């Protein structure tokens, strides 16, 4: 049976995705408790501090029936290795553990395509195959990728221990159309620049919708799911890009046109998620890499 939350704690509420999530929650009539290191002044009930602060997080859980946990250092470049891994893993454990103790039954956490180990790989790396899917082995070689593995393991533990339904969303590059346009231009000029992320993206509005669906769909247990727009940010055919920049990676099924080399079947089946916002590339921009 689907679950419609009435009061949602959003950590990382002042961030780009957090701000969009707040708009989606408001549109669905859900009350919001915001949590971040800075207060943007847009939420009536807001807690300012670290998501690793057990006491503060416990206080923020009062009356909450669902959690969207987005707070994290977003790459291995945003702190020391210890700060990135320990900080991210600690925050996720504290938030989910305190949510369970408060009786919360549903949570969504921000995982990342970076869990593959590809985007921030310290030496050349490639996926085992495409399209990427949830069965593909992970190759974490940086503290951010490792922190996402720890986050997903924490989600699985909480689901087993407490019966909470937890959805971990493995987001690709997120952005507004204006933000994505910068990367589309880069990939047009330097086609190989997006290979480490398999040229994938998702509009921020769709990412926020996925968070809502993660809370409201009929879900039990813990689920880690890839999601992306159905096409790449590159103007060039995907199979041509793969042949040139990832030549040793098996292509398990043909990829027509600009099809993203990520299998999003699981999230569509479980949550009913289908991206609505597509970055438009003009016919004049299409060509060979």
Which residues have C-beta within 8 Å of that of residue 29, sequence separation ≥ 6? Answer: none
Q: Closest Cα to residue 115, out of 150, 90, 81?
A: 150
Measured in degrees and rounded to the nearest 5, phi and psi for residue 268 equal: -65, -40
Q: How far apart are CA 214 and CA 219, in angstroms?
A: 8
Phi, psi dihedral angles at 121 (to 5 degrees): -60, 130
Contacts for 153 with CB less than 8 Å, ≥ 6 apart: none
Q: Which of 144, 183, 226, 236 is catalytic?
A: 144
Burial 117-146 (b: 16+ CB within 10 A, else e): bbbbbeeeebbebbbbeeebeebbebbbbb
236 included as an active-site residue: no
* Measured distance CA(264)–CA(247) in Å, rounded: 23
- Separation between Cα atoms, residue 66 and residue 216, nearest integer Å: 10
* Contacting residues for 195 by C-beta, under 8 A, at least 6 apart: 241, 245, 246
Q: Would you please indicate which residues are annotated as catalytic (active-site) residues? A: 144
């Amino acid at each position: 049976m689907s679950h419609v939350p009435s009061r949602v704690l959003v950590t990382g509420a002042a961030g780009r995705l957090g701000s969009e999530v707040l708009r989606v929650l408001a549109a669905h009539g859900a009350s919001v408790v915001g949590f971040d290191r800075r207060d943007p002044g847009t939420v009536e009930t807001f807690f300012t501090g670290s998501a690793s602060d057990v006491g503060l997080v416990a206080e923020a859980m009062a009356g909450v029936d669902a959690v969207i946990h987005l707070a994290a250092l977003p790459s291995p470049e945003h702190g020391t290795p210890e700060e990135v891994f320990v900080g991210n893993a600690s925050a996720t454990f504290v938030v989910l553990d305190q949510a369970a103790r408060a009786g919360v039954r549903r949570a969504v956490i921000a995982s990342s395509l970076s869990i593959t180990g590809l985007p921030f790989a310290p030496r050349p790396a490639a996926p085992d195959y495409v399209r990427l899917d949830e069965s593909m082995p992970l190759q974490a070689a940086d503290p951010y990728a490792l922190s996402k593995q720890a986050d997903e393991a924490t989600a699985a533990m909480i689901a087993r221990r407490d019966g909470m339904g937890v959805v971990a969303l493995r987001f690709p590059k997120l952005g507004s159309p204006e933000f994505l346009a910068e990367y589309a231009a880069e990939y047009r000029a330097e086609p190989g620049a997006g290979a480490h992320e398999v040229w994938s993206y998702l509009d921020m509005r769709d990412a926020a919708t996925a968070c809502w669906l993660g809370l409201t769909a009929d879900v039990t247990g813990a689920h880690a799911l890839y999601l992306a727009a159905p096409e790449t940010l590159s103007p060039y055919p995907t199979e041509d890009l793969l042949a040139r920049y990832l030549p040793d990676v098996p292509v398990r099924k043909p990829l027509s046109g600009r099809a993203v080399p990520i299998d999003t079947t699981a999230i569509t089946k479980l949550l009913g998620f289908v991206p609505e916002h597509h970055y438009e590339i003009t016919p004049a921009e299409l060509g060979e890499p």
